């Protein structure tokens, strides 16, 4: 078997196929294998999630996800890693990491096991085209032509091109008759043309963000909000970005409603602020608000709230209501994302109705397989994307040979 792409999927598939006794050649365009694994989880590699749930994966074909993951929960991934000598530990929200907390240990152990099982790994080898005649695939590469009877395309998505993200697998697949679901950047930072965010660059709050598209409520995520010189990032934003990307591609007007203090209800925040007012105080409002909120955010809060008070003693219930409403509903229009370059994954990909979820084999071309992120499946942040990569990689070796 030839495998295109030595990422998480290709490495896991190569090991399971070679262990089943098949000759495997793994072709990688980069000079090193597993580049995305190396940078994942800020260098710690959030390798999986203990709480696998079909709802944490997205596709136009949810039944495919159900069938792929059936019988392949976290335990199956844990035993695969135990078999290569890697222990895992749990972080917050079921996130699993290598016990070393080093992504490099994941790549080095995968590489060692692949070679031990007999996999031939060829780096700096970009596949440029594939063809099939009779029962043989011809694979043209930057290092010459190779042939095989079984071919796995595990070349990933266009996310993070600086790490090898590419569209090439889609071109090979469509040439073979497969269709594609549109790809959009996901788990990506968002851009805004509003100038105030630049002035707040570097400010991070534990907040929440609601997404509205054309004025219609879409979804809400809690977590860090990080203002930047291009727009906004942070965990809540990455988690929202999938929906934003899809709506922007549809030319919808996207606006975020940011709650800067979600732990206090509107009533509690109002009472807190009302209690703080000293009736004879000339303290400037911008200073008074520093008692509760980051000072860089205050000018925008005062502007968006259209607050008429300038000093503390001018505050009254009506002005406080306006301020509270803005702190809990700060508006930020979004005009773009940081694109595939900033994205951790891509939505969309090979139409999964054309792939057998038990074997990962193409329903159109016998002995052609797809696995990992190239398929129209993407997961939430938290180890779900790697889960899909390991599971589909494993399935290639265990269900076909
Ligand atoms: C910065 C970052 C952090 C991330 N952190 C996490 C995390 O902590 N947890 C998590 O679950 N997910 C994380 N992800 C997502 C995760 O890395 C991917 O979902 C996963 O790597 C997909 O695996 P894959 O093998 O299908 O594709 P890839 O990892 O993209 O591997 C595909 C490989 O194919 C090669 N290739 C492409 N075209 C060709 C060609 N024509 N010829 C030869 N080789 C080719 C590429 O160079 C690449 O090495 C992160 C992603 C990024 C970018």
Measured CA to CA, the distance from residue 95 to residue 97 in angstroms comes to 7
**Residue 259 Cα to chain centre, angstroms:** 23
Q: Which two tokens stand for residue 331?
A: 């508006």
Instruction: Tell me which residue has tokens 């497969």.
Output: 178
Burial class (CB in 10 A: 0-12, 13-18, 19+), 389: buried
Q: Are residues 91 and 200 in the same domain?
A: no
Indicate whether residue 39 lines ligand 1 (CB < 6 A).
yes
Indicate whether residue 30 lines ligand 1 (CB < 6 A).
yes
Closest ligand 1 atom number to CA of residue 8: 25
Closest ligand 1 atom number to CA of residue 125: 43
Closest CA to 314 of 289, 366, 278: 278
Q: Is residue 72 part of a domain?
A: yes
pLDDT at 39 over 80: yes
Q: Which two tokens stand for residue 4?
A: 């295109």
* Average pLDDT of the residues in 316-340: 97
Closest CA to 219 of 189, 244, 198: 244
Share of the chain above pLDDT 70, in %: 100
Q: Say which CATH number the domain at 138 has.
A: 3.50.50.60
Indicate whether residue 395 lines ligand 1 (CB < 6 A).
no
Q: Are residues 70 and 134 in the same domain?
A: yes
Closest ligand 1 atom number to CA of residue 384: 11
pLDDT at 125 over 70: yes
Which of 152, 161, 164 to mutate to test ligand 1, by most ligand atoms within 8 A of the CB atom?
164
Q: Is residue 60 part of a domain?
A: yes
pLDDT tier at 399 (50, 70, 90 boundaries)? confident
Share of the chain above pLDDT 90, in %: 99
Q: Is residue 297 part of a domain?
A: yes
* Cα(287) to centroid(ligand 1), Å: 47
Q: Are residues 196 and 178 in the same domain?
A: no
Q: Are residues 145 and 171 in the same domain?
A: yes
User: What confidence tens digit (pLDDT) does each residue in 173-215 have?
Assistant: 999 999 999 999 999 999 999 999 999 999 999 999 999 999 9
Measured CA to CA, the distance from residue 127 to residue 142 in angstroms comes to 6
* Cα(363) to centroid(ligand 1), Å: 24
Q: Which domain holds residue 313?
A: 189-337
Q: What pLDDT was estimated at residue 104?
A: 98
* Cα(259) to centroid(ligand 1), Å: 33
Q: Are residues 23 and 160 in the same domain?
A: yes
14 with 3: CB under 8 angstroms?
yes
Indicate whether residue 154 lines ligand 1 (CB < 6 A).
yes
Q: Is residue 391 part of a domain?
A: yes
The domain tally of the chain equals 2
Q: Are residues 218 and 270 in the same domain?
A: yes
Measured CA to CA, the distance from residue 33 to residue 308 in angstroms comes to 60
Q: Is residue 30 part of a domain?
A: yes
Indicate whether residue 127 lines ligand 1 (CB < 6 A).
yes
Q: Which two tokens stand for residue 203?
A: 């400010």
211 with 190: CB under 8 angstroms?
no
User: What confidence tens digit (pLDDT) does each residue in 264-282 have?
Assistant: 999 999 999 999 999 899 9
Show Cβ contacts of residue 369 under 8 Å, excluding neighbours closer than 6 positions. 150, 151, 152, 153, 359, 360, 361, 362, 396, 400
Q: What pLDDT was estimated at residue 400?
A: 60
Instruction: Please give the biggest Cα pair distance in the chain.
Output: 90
Could you say which of 294, 318, 337 is where a domain stops?
A: 337
Q: Is residue 375 part of a domain?
A: yes
Q: Are residues 328 and 258 in the same domain?
A: yes
pLDDT at 136 over 90: yes
Measured CA to CA, the distance from residue 393 to residue 16 in angstroms comes to 8
Q: Are residues 57 and 74 in the same domain?
A: yes
Indicate whether residue 8 lines ligand 1 (CB < 6 A).
yes
Q: Is residue 56 part of a domain?
A: yes
User: What confidence tens digit (pLDDT) does each residue in 227-239 have?
Assistant: 999 999 999 999 9
Could you say which of 313, 337, 361 is where a domain stops?
A: 337
Distances (CA, A) of 47 to 12, 185, 391: 13, 21, 12
Could you say which of 312, 337, 362 is where a domain stops?
A: 337
Indicate whether residue 385 lines ligand 1 (CB < 6 A).
yes
In the chain the first and final C-alpha atoms are separated, in Å, by 11
Which of 12, 16, 36 to mutate to test ligand 1, by most ligand atoms within 8 A of the CB atom?
36
pLDDT at 40 over 70: yes
Q: What pLDDT was estimated at residue 401?
A: 56
Q: Are residues 216 and 354 in the same domain?
A: no
Q: Are residues 163 and 21 in the same domain?
A: yes
Q: Is residue 342 part of a domain?
A: no
Q: Are residues 81 and 102 in the same domain?
A: yes
* Cα(161) to centroid(ligand 1), Å: 10
* Average pLDDT of the residues in 357-381: 97
Question: How does strand 345-346 pair with strand 185-186?
Answer: antiparallel
Q: What pLDDT was estimated at residue 310?
A: 93
Indicate whether residue 166 lines ligand 1 (CB < 6 A).
yes
Measured CA to CA, the distance from residue 277 to residue 311 in angstroms comes to 10
Indicate whether residue 28 lines ligand 1 (CB < 6 A).
yes
Q: Are residues 140 and 235 in the same domain?
A: no
């Amino acid at each position: 078997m030839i495998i295109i792409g030595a990422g998480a999927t290709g490495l896991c598939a190569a090991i399971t196929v070679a262990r089943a006794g098949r000759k495997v050649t793994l072709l990688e365009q980069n000079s090193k294998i597993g580049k995305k694994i190396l940078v994942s989880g800020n260098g710690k590699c959030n390798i999986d999630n203990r709480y696998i749930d079909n709802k944490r994966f997205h596709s136009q074909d949810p039944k495919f996800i159900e069938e792929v993951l059936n019988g392949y929960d976290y335990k199956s991934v844990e035993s695969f890693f135990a078999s290569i000598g890697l222990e895992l530990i749990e972080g917050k929200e079921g996130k699993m990491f290598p016990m070393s907390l080093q992504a490099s240990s994941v790549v080095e152990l995968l590489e060692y096991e692949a070679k031990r099982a007999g996999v031939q790994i060829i780096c700096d080898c970009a596949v440029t085209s594939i063809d099939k005649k009779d029962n043989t695939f011809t694979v043209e590469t930057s290092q010459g032509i190779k042939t095989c009877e079984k071919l796995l395309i595990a070349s990933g998505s266009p996310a993070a091109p600086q790490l090898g993200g590419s569209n090439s697998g889609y071109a090979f697949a469509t040439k073979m008759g497969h269709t594609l679901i549109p790809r959009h950047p996901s788990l990506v930072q968002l851009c805004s043309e509003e100038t105030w965010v630049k002035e707040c660059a570097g400010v991070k709050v534990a907040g929440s963000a609601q997404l509205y598209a054309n004025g219609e409520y879409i979804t809400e995520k809690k977590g860090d909000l990080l203002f930047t010189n291009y727009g906004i990032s942070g965990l809540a934003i990455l988690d929202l970005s999938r929906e934003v990307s899809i709506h922007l591609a549809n030319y919808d007007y996207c606006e975020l409603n940011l709650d800067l203090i979600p732990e206090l209800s509107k009533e509690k925040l109002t009472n807190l602020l009302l209690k703080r007012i000293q009736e004879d105080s000339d303290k400037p409002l911008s200073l008074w608000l520093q008692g509760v909120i980051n000072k860089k955010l205050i000018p925008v809060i005062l502007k968006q709230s259209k607050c008429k008070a300038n000093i503390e003693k001018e505050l009254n219930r009506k002005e406080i209501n306006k301020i509270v409403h803005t702190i809990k509903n700060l508006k930020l229009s979004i005009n773009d994302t940081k694109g595939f370059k900033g994205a951790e994954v891509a939505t969309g990909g090979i139409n999964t109705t054309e792939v057998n979820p038990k074997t990962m084999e193409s329903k159109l071309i016998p002995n052609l397989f797809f696995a990992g992120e190239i398929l129209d499946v993407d997961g939430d942040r938290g180890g779900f994307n790697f889960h899909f990569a390991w599971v589909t990689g494993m399935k290639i070796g265990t269900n076909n040979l």
